[in-house]
Structure 1
Amino acid sequence: MTELVKKSIWKKILALVLAFGPGIFAIGYTIGTGSVTSMIVAGSTYGMQLLWVLLLSCVFSGLLMFAYGNFALVTGETALYAFKKHLKWGKLIAILIILGISFGQWNSLMGILGISANIIFEIFLIYFPNLVGYQYESVLAIAIIVIIVFYMLLMVGKYAFFEKILVIFVTIMGLSFIISLFMVYPLPIEVMQGLVPSIPKVEGGQMMVAAFVGTTMAAATFLSRPLFVKGKGWTKKNLGQQKKDAIIAACLVFLISASVMAVASGALFHQGQPVTKVLDMVNTLEPVAGKFALTLFFFGTLSAGLSSIFPCLLIAPILLADYQSGELDTNSKQFKIITAIACLFALIVPVFGANPIEMQIVSQVLNVFVLPLVIFGIMLLVNNKVLMHKYKAGIWLNIGLTAALFFSCVISYNGIIALLDYF
């Protein structure tokens, strides 16, 4: 009898996880190794000082997911197609957004694959110590195998299939990081101080703030939402469900990201051991957190990387399909060619043996520059009475979107200064 009860509980939990909507793609886009890397570097270098940036980014992300999702359900149109059709200069805005986001996400993809391959290599190294002299060859071989497997999975080409794979990775990732937090955590006073706005007055502080926003307020998350909402088969009847899905996704992004930052802060910040390489995470976490917490944390980071490869490979064909017709055909020749080019692009960091963590931080900064355009475009659309009718944006949504636009402009300016200093 107790076994039957246990089975039914597990069935209910599994059903609950699998019932998660298009928000799972938002988590896949947002919490990849880019986000995890940014959180680890920030937590190990600045403690909890940047928690306020994360909180603001997640609030605005939830708001933008809600706005884009609502627009899609009310009008039946996707974002870039609507920009092109209804906005003055809409064609130019849409093309700039496609180029900006694709470039940012493909850069991200290089770092993601590099970090994931390095982590898998570190796991192999535990069991096969003789591989120590063959790091470059092993990491490259792992990266090639991983990207081929993901390309083959992409060829299956069904929304429901992508969603189920992402659910598995995101669940493993979330649980790994949250359980790690119970083993290594910062002081409550540090968490409270982290909610007070301040920018670290050290080299790289400004870039870190921009990278945070680039990874958490990812423009790709909002622009792809209409296509995923349509892929789920939702209509106007699902407006309430869409709102709940956006809120849950934003809350989970904050919870998981804050957990990563807190583990890095609790384990590494007070030791004075900032992370700059993938190996640093192993060498510094193990003595403080122990083998089990380290394994969990690495499993979470690997899941974060693998859960991001899918959305990053999908982004360029999604945006192009959105611009052309508002429909994504995963069996088209265009889809297969663009994703194949993205796979080859992803191998740049492993082939040249570059530092994937540095690449990740820079690519996250690049993501912030199209953000003001993405927010301004949806503000115009959701306030268009002809398109939205009685569902036109209310005062609170407009206040939130205006605040998000101001925040994104400040962060973009901050990102430009940070990149000029870097190069």
Structure 2
Amino acid sequence: MSESKQKISLLKKIIALVLSFGPGIFAIGYTIGTGSVTSMIVAGSKFNMQLLWVLLLSCIFSGILMFAYGNFGLITGETALFAFKKHLKYGKALAILIIVGVTFGQWNSLMGILGISANIIFEILAVNFDGLSAFKYETVLITAIIIIVTFYLLMLVGKYTFFEKILVIFVTLMGFSFVLSLCFVQPLPLDVVKGLIPTIPDVPGGKMLVAAFVGTTMASATFLSRPLFVKGKGWTIKNLDQQRKDSITAAILIFIISGTIMAVAAGALYYQGKEVTQVLDMANTLEPVAGKWAVTIFFFGALSAGLSSIFPCLLIAPLLLADYQSGELDTSSKQFRIITAIACVVALIGPAFGANPIEIQILSQVFNVFVLPLVVLGIIIMVNSKKIMKEYKTGIPVNIGLFCALFFSCAISYNGIIALTEYF
């Protein structure tokens, strides 16, 4: 076989591998958005690799929860909130509380995502068009409107496989962009090892970032939507092994991509004593080392992260409601169109008021942690019920993992409350 044919064959294999990725791609879409990128960059620039242990624990527990929720969906044929409502004594109240809490967190997050994505596009345009800087507010707002309207129209024509393919493209671009960025700057290996030792930075904003880290990496939306997405993929009880592999792969990829982003920020900014407070600071992460080309690569990664999160964030409220009502998501229904339209309007609040999208993003991630203990507790009860799971028994290692995740989520929620009282 000639060298050119071998290259084409290898490229085809890589493309096939990427496109074969299952519902885990939604987990990456929910988890690594601009919220995650922002949290990782701010943490890397402020605290070096000190919070790597938080990221590692969050990813381990995320993998376990994705596995538990996915298995529950395939074994029982039921979705999460519908099952809570059906089987638990106070399940109806629990399900409604979760819907309100998760939607609030995700819509807040959407505001920050849209603001950061629009700001990134503005910064790219401002580099090429000199007079544009004077019209920052107008350009950012118009860009935000164009982005959100485009995504809304795509939502109206899409089905599960359509959303999945678009997410695969964005997530792949994002991953390559950040790994390429890491080639230009790296943290010291000793700092990476130190980052695995549990410590919380004893400085203003330290607790807030820890909560934001968990809020963005252990996102409740990721687990709750898992049964719906494995059903959307067409998987059945025969795909339990595939579901397990998909959960593990998603958790590993989330850790690698998020850790890479933190490492890029630590290598480029922390050692120079620079911090991130504005969107442009995120792009400047690489400029001193690799010039404008690296800035473009980084911007492209951050923008891909933002765009890969808009779909899942718009989907979450109708998804949870559909789950609660019947366990089926109908993307052509009137309810779906109305709720996603409301989400689009909410997303524009941040850009309309000219708010700092980085602050909005960090705050929204903190709010995400408060529903997390309920989401973990719910699945622990469900997977250990003989009445629901019948002959399928949840193993001791999975149960240990779930109870550790519950303890961790409670500790982080308490930490988040303290962080918010200090902030306000």
The one-letter amino acid paired with 1:184 is V
Distance 1:20 1:192 in 2: 31
Quote how far apart the aligned CAs of 1:195 are. 0.1
Distance 2:281 2:3 in 1: 45
Tell me the residue number matched to 2:86: 85
Q: Which moved more, 1:293-302 or 1:412-421?
A: 293-302
Tell me the residue number matched to 1:232: 233
Indicate if the aligned counterparts of 1:267 and 1:289 stay in contact, CA closer than 8 A. no
Distance 1:249 1:136 in 2: 37
Distance 2:274 2:391 in 1: 55
Tell me the residue number matched to 1:172: 173
Structure 1's unaligned 5+ residue stretches are: none
Tell me the residue number matched to 1:389: 390
Tell me the residue number matched to 1:410: 411
Distance 2:261 2:192 in 1: 13
Quote how far apart the aligned CAs of 1:127 are. 1.4
1:257-296 to 2 correspondence within 5 Å? 257-296=258-297
Tell me the residue number matched to 1:52: 53
Structure 2's unaligned 5+ residue stretches are: none
Indicate if the aligned counterparts of 2:111 and 2:349 stay in contact, CA closer than 8 A. yes
The one-letter amino acid paired with 2:348 is L
Quote how far apart the aligned CAs of 1:285 are. 3.1
1:366-385 to 2 correspondence within 5 Å? 366-385=367-386
List per-residue Cα deviations over 1:7-44 (Å, max 9, x = no partner).
Answer: 22211111110000000000000000000000000000
Tell me the residue number matched to 1:132: 133
1:254-403 to 2 correspondence within 5 Å? 254-403=255-404
The one-letter amino acid paired with 1:91 is K
The one-letter amino acid paired with 1:410 is A
Indicate if the aligned counterparts of 2:181 and 2:286 stay in contact, CA closer than 8 A. no
List per-residue Cα deviations over 1:104-150 (Å, max 9, x = no partner).
Answer: 00000000000000000111112111101000000001000000100
The one-letter amino acid paired with 2:6 is V
Quote how far apart the aligned CAs of 1:2 are. 3.1
Distance 2:98 2:246 in 1: 25
List per-residue Cα deviations over 1:250-295 (Å, max 9, x = no partner).
Answer: 0000000000000000000011111011022234531134323222
List per-residue Cα deviations over 1:383-419 (Å, max 9, x = no partner).
Answer: 0112212322111111100000000000000000100
1:107-126 to 2 correspondence within 5 Å? 107-126=108-127
Distance 1:277 1:285 in 2: 15
List per-residue Cα deviations over 1:212-270 (Å, max 9, x = no partner).
Answer: 00000000000000000000000011000000000000000000000000000000001
The one-letter amino acid paired with 1:350 is P
Tell me the residue number matched to 2:209: 208
Tell me the residue number matched to 1:37: 38
Distance 2:270 2:131 in 1: 32
Identity of aligned residues (%): 74
Indicate if the aligned counterparts of 1:273 and 1:284 stay in contact, CA closer than 8 A. no
Distance 2:187 2:393 in 1: 43
The one-letter amino acid paired with 1:203 is P
Quote how far apart the aligned CAs of 1:421 are. 0.9
The one-letter amino acid paired with 2:116 is I
Indicate if the aligned counterparts of 2:174 and 2:305 stay in contact, CA closer than 8 A. yes
Tell me the residue number matched to 2:158: 157
Quote how far apart the aligned CAs of 1:63 are. 0.2
Indicate if the aligned counterparts of 2:185 and 2:286 stay in contact, CA closer than 8 A. no
Tell me the residue number matched to 1:26: 27
Q: Could you tell me the TM-score, scaled by structure 2's length?
A: 0.99
Indicate if the aligned counterparts of 2:184 and 2:289 stay in contact, CA closer than 8 A. no
SS in 1 for 2:72: helix
Q: Could you tell me the TM-score, scaled by structure 1's length?
A: 0.99
Change (3 A) 1:284 1:174: closer
SS in 2 for 1:202: coil
List per-residue Cα deviations over 1:58-93 (Å, max 9, x = no partner).
Answer: 000000000000000000000000000001100000
Distance 1:302 1:285 in 2: 16
Indicate if the aligned counterparts of 1:113 and 1:347 stay in contact, CA closer than 8 A. yes
1:60-75 to 2 correspondence within 5 Å? 60-75=61-76
Quote how far apart the aligned CAs of 1:205 are. 0.3
Distance 2:95 2:158 in 1: 25
Indicate if the aligned counterparts of 2:265 and 2:285 stay in contact, CA closer than 8 A. no
List per-residue Cα deviations over 1:332-364 (Å, max 9, x = no partner).
Answer: 000000000000000011100000000000000
Distance 1:306 1:106 in 2: 14
SS in 2 for 1:390: coil
Distance 2:285 2:260 in 1: 17
Indicate if the aligned counterparts of 2:283 and 2:298 stay in contact, CA closer than 8 A. no
CA RMSD of the aligned region, Å?
A: 0.8
Distance 2:38 2:130 in 1: 26
Indicate if the aligned counterparts of 1:94 and 1:323 stay in contact, CA closer than 8 A. yes
Q: Which moved more, 1:277-286 or 1:368-377?
A: 277-286
Quote how far apart the aligned CAs of 1:200 are. 0.2
